[in-house]
Chains A and B, each alone.
Chain A
Amino acid sequence: MRTTRTRRLAGAIALALTVATAATACGAGEDGKADDGGQTRVFAADNGQITIPVSPKRVIATGYAVPALLEAGAPLVGVSSWKRGIPLFNEQERKKYDELAKVAGESASETNYEAIAQADPDLIVIGVPKPVLADIDIKRLEAIAPVVAIGPSVPSMWRELSRKQADAAGATAGFDALKTAYDTKAKALAEKYKAVVPQLKLGHVGAYGEVAKGNFQREFNGSWGTNIAQDIGATYYGQVKVKGGGSKDVSEYPSIEELPTAFAQADAITYSVAADGSVPPPVKYVLDSPLWKELPAVKAGKVYPFRYTEAATYRAATSTLDAVDQAFAPLLKQ
């Protein structure tokens, strides 16, 4: 018994000594802050009227601001981890994302304040919805640099949201270029399909996030899977049964039993697929259901898959336009 106790005590002391030695062997870290004596302006954000530099040189972005600022070419020095945006990045953006220092995890409570301080930013853009801000110590971030919170609400708001985020980061030039490219293409496609698409009563089966088993996601105008197609003239009939604010105003999750009644009047049905074209499980569940085959639109063969439906920035949405074009092409041949 004595030996065990002595061994335990010796072990504890050895551990403490090792720890102390390891700490001594580490170098010292400097923590200086560059003072930017540039001009400032007042910006309206979710967290109030914030004074920010006119042209920031070192920007930290978190949440939805990450893809928006990556695309617009803002001068980023650090981002939060944003795995769900990765499938939508093009090669350039992916490379940049991988190279940037990660200063926060997927959830706001994992913000690494020291890493942010070390990156020495002059602006911090937080792209998370308001209730999530409670997890972040805004005061501590404000001690490092001005903080603007610009978070999402309704899905189709991404246009406004990404513009605000790019504006705050002083990257409006890059943003405007992308927006113009998108608008031009949308107009061209609306022309191309004006004889066939606007006349269709469309229904959409969505796959944004997980869907509870036994339900399916039906998206109406203004939702993730539909808002970009609307730019070329598509209209999705109907309304949600019960409005719930935010995305619940434009999409709902009925039980699979209600599939026949939900799409009884649809002339054609579109559905979301993954970036690589594979069908996500919530949509596959609908496609494999015996109730699907009874739908008039399905019997007429008028079903069309859309890729990149989660696009929340103009460059990604341009890919969506291409996908919609690809999907609707058979309509022109009739």
Chain B
Amino acid sequence: MTATGRSALLGAALLGLVVVAVLSVGIGAHAIAPGEVVRALLGEGNPSDRAVVLDIRMPRAVLAIGVGAALAVGGVLVQALSRNALAEPGVLGVTAGAGFAIAVGSSFGLAASAPIELGLAVLGAFGASALVYAVGSRSPLRLVLAGTALSAVLLGLTLGLRLLFPDTFDVYRFWSVGSLAGREQAPTTVPLIVIGLSLLGAFAVSRQLNAIALGETVAHTLGANVARVRTVTLLLITLMAGAATALAGPILFVGLIVPHLARRVAGASIPWLIAFAALLGPVLMLAADVGSRVLLPTGEVPVAIVTAFLGGPVLIWAVRKYGAAPL
């Protein structure tokens, strides 16, 4: 695909993003007519509708965009780094670490409010991935194995805590199904800024990642400082995936599917992959979020479930049609 072709597709993706974002602001549990929605956006209309559109749905749409971009780009980076097409950010132990921190905090009676939960999740995510990196930084396979092993250990410990303390059980079972709902009162500004900065960082490191994808020796001859690029990339993945998981809870498929979809369009070029992932991820998240609000007659389906049932069949179809495409 030519560069012009890719740019055109990128533009189309951006347009799609805007459309879905508008949809997401207009649809919700409390039906508001489109005209009223526009008036609310402009600051007029009745105060309840205004509160719903501006204070509840808008922050939620922004959150969806941030989390979607973070998970998708994190997926691209982790697949490039581990050279494994099945890797997704959680494989580094980030998700299990966040969940474990929440379980521990709640067992000590700490996870009482949204900011504390957020802080605990971030701590856990970072701690786990630091440990995984310490054990498995030498080779991609070891990284994935270490991440899987640590995730399993943390999940086991979390399970033990949940079965000993019913309160922890309750807190965890609601946190563990990722959802974008009800976060408008949580301090989401800092994590979203972190995600934004990490996205920029991902672009900065993307060219050098291209070289590494060809193998370490080739990368050396091409002048890339492999060790440093690897460390920086891991840090970026941790920041993005950790922030996203802390904000929304575990949402498993976005980091796995979007890189595959982006690869159809962008080929193997990492900068283009990141660009497409940064747009397709939010589109997927927003679409799933809208779906989560309309699927059931009453109540919502958490967005992680919608993405699982969207992503699963897509992945199966892709693998059957195209084979398990290597990087």
Judged by CB atoms under 8 Å, the answer to whether A and B touch is: yes
* Residues from chain B with Cβ under 8 Å of A107 in the complex: 163
Chain B residues within an 8 Å CB radius of A214: 179, 181-183, 300
Closest partner residue, chain A, to B249 (CB atom): A213
Q: Is the CB of B181 within 8 A of A255?
A: yes
Most buried by B among A253, A254, A255, A257: A257
| Contacting residues, chain A, for B182 (C-beta < 8 A) | 212-215, 256, 285
Is residue B229 contacting chain A, with contact meaning CB distance below 8 A?
Answer: no
The residue that B299 contacts in the complex, of A105, A106, A209, A255, with Cβ under 8 A, is A255
Complex Cα gap A253–B48 (Å)? 19
Asked if A48 is an interface residue, CB under 8 A from chain B, the answer is no
Check A256 against B173 for contact (C-beta < 8 Å). no
Given contacts A242-B298, A253-B299, A288-B185, contact A212 B28 (CB under 8 A): no
Q: Mark B35-70, 1 if CB is under 8 A from A, else 0.
A: 000000000000110011001100000000000000
A-B contact count (CB 8 A): 84
Closest to A81 in B: B164
Contact status B48-A294, CB under 8 Å: yes
In Å, the complex CA distance between A19 and B312 comes to 49
Given contacts A215-B182, A294-B47, whether A255 and B29 have CB atoms under 8 Å apart is yes
Of all chain B residues, which has the CB nearest A109? B163
**A105 interface neighbour in B113, B164, B179, B302, Cβ under 8 Å:** B164
Q: Is the CB of A284 within 8 A of B179?
A: no
Contacts A106-B164, A106-B166, A209-B170 known; A261 to B181 CB distance under 8 Å? no
Select from chain A the residue with minimum beta-carbon distance to B170: A210
User: Measured between C-beta atoms, what is the minimum distance from A145 to chain B in Å?
Assistant: 26
Closest-CB distance, B289 to chain A (whole angstroms): 11
A284 and B113 form a contact (CB under 8 A): yes
Does A83 lie at the interface of the complex (its beta carbon under 8 Å from any beta carbon of B)? yes
A-contact bits for B106-138, CB 8 A (1 contact / 0 none): 000000111000000000000000000000000
Decide if A258 touches B113 in the complex (CB within 8 Å).
Answer: no
Q: Which residues from chain B contact A281 at a C-beta distance below 8 Å?
A: 112-114
Of the residues A84, A257, A294, contact of B167 by C-beta under 8 Å:
A84
- Scan A289-325; emit 1 where CB is below 8 A from any B CB, else 0: 1110010000000000000000000000000000000
Q: Does residue B155 face the partner (Cβ distance < 8 Å to A)? A: no
8 Å CB contact of A215 from B48, B164, B299 = B299
Which residues, 195 to 211 on B, are CB-close (under 8 Å) to A? none
- Of the candidates A106, A210, A285, A290, the one whose C-beta lies within 8 Å of that of B171 is A210
**Residues of B close to A215: CB separation below 8 A:** 181-182, 299-300
Compute how far the CA of A111 lies from the CA of B257 in the bound complex, rounded to whole angstroms. 43
Q: Is the CB of A106 within 8 A of B165?
A: yes
Closest chain A residue to B163, Cβ basis = A107
Task: Report the Cα distance A261→B112, complex, angstroms.
Answer: 28
A side interface size, CB within 8 A: 32
CB of B228 closer than 8 Å to a CB of A: no
Tell whether A11 is near chain B: CB-to-CB under 8 Å: no
Q: Mark A177-199, 1 if CB is under 8 A from B, else 0.
A: 00000000000000000000000
Q: Is the CB of B51 within 8 A of A213?
A: no
User: Scoring A residues 226 to 270 as 1 if CB is less than 8 Å from chain B, else 0, what string do you get?
Assistant: 000000000000000110000000001111111011000000000
A98: CB under 8 A from chain B?
A: no
B176 smallest CB distance to A (angstroms)? 11
- Interface bin, chain B: 20 to 34
Q: Which residues of the other chain, A, contact B300 by a CB distance below 8 angstroms?
A: 212, 214-215, 255
Do B299 and A256 have beta carbons less than 8 Å apart?
no
Q: With a CB–CB cut-off of 8 A, which chain B residues contact A261?
A: 30
Measured in the bound complex, the distance between the Cα atoms of B114 and A213 in whole Å is 10
Residue A142 interfacial (CB < 8 Å): no
Q: Which of B243-288 contact A (CB under 8 A)?
A: none
CA distance A252 to B29 in the complex (A): 14
> B179 near A210 (CB under 8 angstroms)?
no
Bound-state Cα–Cα, A289 to B30, Å:
15
Partner of B30, one of A106, A212, A260: A260
A83, A106, A212, A256: the one contacting B179 at CB < 8 Å is A212
**Given A84-B166, A291-B51, A212:B29 Cβ within 8 A:** no
Q: CB < 8 Å: which of A209, A210, A211, A257 contacts B29?
A: A257
A176 proximity list for chain B (CB < 8 A)? none
Residues on the A chain within 8 Å of B28, using CB: 255, 257
Chain A residues, Cβ within 8 Å of B309: none
Cross-chain contact B298 with A241 (CB below 8 angstroms): yes
Distance A260 CA – B171 CA, assembled complex (angstroms): 27
Report the Cα distance A253→B166, complex, angstroms: 20
> Counting CB contacts under 8 A, is B297 at the interface?
yes
* Inter-chain contact A257/B30, CB cutoff 8 Å: yes
* B174 in the interface (beta carbon within 8 A): yes
Chain B residues within an 8 Å CB radius of A289: 51, 55, 185
Q: Shortest CB–CB separation between residue B312 and chain A, in angstroms?
A: 23
Q: In whole angstroms, what is the CA distance A110 to B167 when docked?
A: 17
Contacts of A213 in B (CB 8 A): 174, 179, 181-183
Contact with A along B141-167 (1 / 0, CB 8 A): 000000000000000000000011111
Within 8 A of A (CB), among B3-46: 28-30
Q: Which chain B residues lie closer than 8 Å to A260 at the CB level?
A: 30, 48
Minimum-distance CB pairs A-B, first 9 = A214-B181, A214-B182, A213-B182, A255-B29, A257-B30, A210-B170, A290-B51, A257-B29, A260-B48
Residues of chain B having any CB pair with chain A under 8 Å = 28-30, 47-48, 51-52, 55-56, 112-114, 163-167, 170-171, 173-174, 179, 181-183, 185, 297-300, 302
Q: A213-B183, A254-B298 are in contact. List 5 more A-B contacts (CB 8 A).
A: A212-B181, A215-B182, A257-B28, A289-B185, A290-B55
Q: List 9 A-B contacts (CB under 8 A).
A: A209-B170, A210-B173, A213-B182, A215-B181, A256-B56, A258-B30, A260-B48, A290-B55, A291-B56
